[in-house]
Every structure is written in C-alpha cells, then in structure tokens.
Amino acid sequence: MIFRNILHSLTLGIICAITSGCSSSGVKGDYADSIKTVSPRETDLTSEATAYSDSLLNCLTLEQRVGQCFMPSIYSRVDEATVRRFRSYISDLHVGGIVLLKGDVESAALLSDMSLKSEVPLFIAIDAEWGLGMRLEDAPDFPRNGRIGEKADEELLFEYGSEVARECRRIGINMVLGPVVDVVENPGGIIGSRSFGGDPVRVAELGTAYARGLEGGRVISVAKHFPGHGSPSADSHRTLPVIRRSLHQLDSIDLYPFRHYIESGLSGVMVGHLAVPAVDPHSLPAAVSSPVIDDLLRGELGFRGLVLTDALNMGGAEGYGAVAALMAGADIVISPADTGREIAEVVEGVRKGEVPVSVIDDRCRRILFYKYLVREKSAGVMLEGIREDVRTGTDSLRLRLER
C-alpha cells in the first residue's frame, strides 16, 4: 500500500489526542518521546484512513476529484468580495483547500469556520515559516529561522513547532507551508533568513524538529523548496532559477535536509520552480518535472506523502499549468493564476484521455487520506478571546529562540 511506511509524528499526535485526552496544544513531553516505532494503534489508524479515502473517493464526481487537487490562495479578511470568492471556491469549484494570505487572526478564523460547510473537509494552509505572524498582523512574532540563536536545539524547535500548531488549531488551520529546509549558500540571497542556515546538518535537524512539533499537534508540515533553493541567486517569483550543482553536490548539500525529513516519516514536500539540469536535462521547472518528482523525490528518496507545487502564479512557472504538474507527480497545485480555468483544463484532459483518470484518483486518494488524519471534531472556531488565546505563553518561547 502506498501509505504503509508513513505516519510517525503525525499519527502519534492524533493517537495522543484520541487515547490520552491531549488538547490540540501539541504533544507533551520531550522531543525524544515523539520518535517511536509504529504501534498497533497506528496501524489501525492507517487502515481507517485508507478505508475513509477509498470510500469517499467513490462518492465524488470527476469535477470534485479534480477540485481536491487545487488550493487557491485568498487574503485573510472577510470583506464581501473575499467571502464571495471563498464560497465559490468551495461550492462551485470543490477545491481541496485554501492558502491564507495576509490579514488578521479573527478573519482567518472566520474563513476557517466557513470552510466547515464544504462537503469534503478542506486543508486550511498558511505560510508560517516563523509563526503565524508571518501572515497575520496580530499573531505572535517569532524570529526568522536564520536568526534563531546558535544554542537552539531540536528539543526547543520541537516545542516551537508544537506552539505554532496550537495557535494554528485555535484558528482552524491544519497545514503549515513550512519549514524552509533550503541550505543557503549566500545569507544575503533570495532565501536568506527564511532558512536555518548554510549547514545541511543543522538545517535538517532544526527543520525536522520544528515539523515534528507541528505534526504532533495535528498540523501537516510541508518542507520546501525541493530540491533546494539555497544556491540560486534568481527569484522564482519573477523568473526560473537554475541549480548549477552536480548530482554529488545536490545529494550532500541540498537533498540532505529533505532526506532527513522524509526518513522521519513527515507529511508534505513543496516542489519549487527551479531548473535542475543534473536531474532533468530539459531543465523544466521542478514542480512540473517528472524526473524531479517521480524519479528523485518519489523514487530515489522514497517519499510517499503529499507533494505540493509552489504557487503556479509565480514567474518561475510561467507557461506551465496544473495538467503538467499533476502529470509530473504533484498531488496539490497551489495558487494557480485562474483556478476555475485550470480545473476545467484538467477535467477536459481526463475526458479526452490525455490525463489518465488513475492519476487523478491516485492524487485524490492520498489527499483524502491525510485529511482523515487531521480531521477536526469540533463544531467550529470559538471567536471569543481568540487573539489573546493565540498569544498565550509566546513571549518566553520567543526569548529562548533568540538566545
């Protein structure tokens, strides 16, 4: 089965919540306690999630299955136009999730609450590379990853991830597009302080610990930007950077943190808009490159979790769409320029036989599997005191990260 070898941290967090009465504030105890062998209960939960995904998949129309593979972005505000667009994404396009952009805590919570009206549970994602303050103006600020103190260790980063997971769950967010595990060659470059630095081992250890903390709190982590955005000087928001590394350099530097993350059983990887001639001689953007996704990420590194593209509305992906990304091996397309048009093109591709329906079913089944793992049982988000609750106990953690 495709899911047999996953679910160490994420599943442990869910089991803790189910069997021990833990709150969504994250796993209690030491970082080392989160690293365990698979228990019989985890195997049961894997079977439950597999049965759920298979059953729900059979109930979905083609349009709904395709929609699950899309996560457009939307600002975290509740003006009339934004709310209308959000509702259309859910009811008309059947999207699988939403990426929250800049806004405020209460608006993000209100949008998350509205998502409960979707027939299929949604992923509610946010770029919280250094906490919710990266996107939400009234959420706690933590130091950027590159400015975390030299004494920071895995246990502290696990605690940090657990706290961010608690804040996310309080708002209704169940996916963080982070950590950034790019190994930076130039601290003043494009990635810069978004990364944990230039030492592959430190980046791997701190990034994975942060992700474990997130997943222990039932929030999916997404390591980015595969296969590594640390060496190119160009900005993929504007153009297509080229990774001019040999296979040996890629393996020992850029891929090292991703391999560590994958071997830890974590859940998501975002593929960047990066040309990698050493892997793909055609130098396609990695997010639409089968050699990068199917051969390297899935094949050589053995990743069986969710594969997300970087935002398809970025300059580095110009000329390529959702069909190319899904056919290359991506599960979820992030922020296409025109979500409705891209969904229609994929549906049309399936009907014409250009996109095998098995490809869509494979992607959709994996998405539904992970949705079962992070499902929220509460009736909705309680807005009363939400800003204060999100900020609870963050000052001390911030100071410890900065030391």
Catalytic residue chosen out of the listed positions 127, 182, 310, 331: 310
Catalytic site residue 237? yes
Of 309, 299, 242, nearest to 276 by C-alpha is 242
Locus of tokens 């320029």: 337
Q: Which domain holds residue 172?
A: 9-402
Asked if residue 3 belongs to a domain, the reply is no
Cα–Cα distances in Å, from 238 out to 234, 273, 274? 8, 10, 12
Asked if residue 391 belongs to a domain, the reply is yes
Asked if residue 1 belongs to a domain, the reply is no
Catalytic residue chosen out of the listed positions 237, 248, 280, 338: 237
The token duo for 362 is: 């494979």
CATH number at residue 361: 3.20.20.300
Contact 398, 141 (CB under 8 A): yes
Of 287, 293, 296, 289, nearest to 336 by C-alpha is 287
**Amino acid in the structure at residue 320:** Y
Asked if residue 4 belongs to a domain, the reply is no
Contact 269, 287 (CB under 8 A): no
C-alpha–C-alpha distance, residues 40 and 189, integer Å: 46
Catalytic site residue 310? yes
Backbone angles phi, psi at 127, to 5 degrees: -80, 100
How many CB atoms within 10 Å of residue 378? 10
Contact partners, residue 191, CB within 8 Å, separation at least 6: 180, 182, 184, 229, 230
pLDDT of the chain, 403 residues: tens digit per residue: 333 344 444 544 443 433 333 333 333 345 455 444 445 556 678 899 999 999 999 999 999 999 999 999 999 999 999 999 999 999 999 999 999 999 999 999 999 999 988 999 999 999 999 999 999 999 988 999 999 998 899 999 999 999 999 999 999 999 999 999 999 987 777 898 999 999 999 999 999 999 999 999 999 999 999 999 988 877 798 899 999 999 999 999 999 999 999 999 999 999 999 999 999 999 999 999 999 999 999 999 999 999 999 999 999 889 999 999 999 999 999 999 999 999 999 999 999 999 999 999 999 999 999 999 988 655 567 777 888 888 876 888 988 998 7
- The number of distinct structural domains making up the chain is 1
Side-chain half-sphere CA neighbours of 326 within 13 A: 33
- 94 sits in the region (left: phi over 0; alpha: psi -120 to 50; else beta) called left
Asked if residue 172 belongs to a domain, the reply is yes
pTM for this entry:
0.89
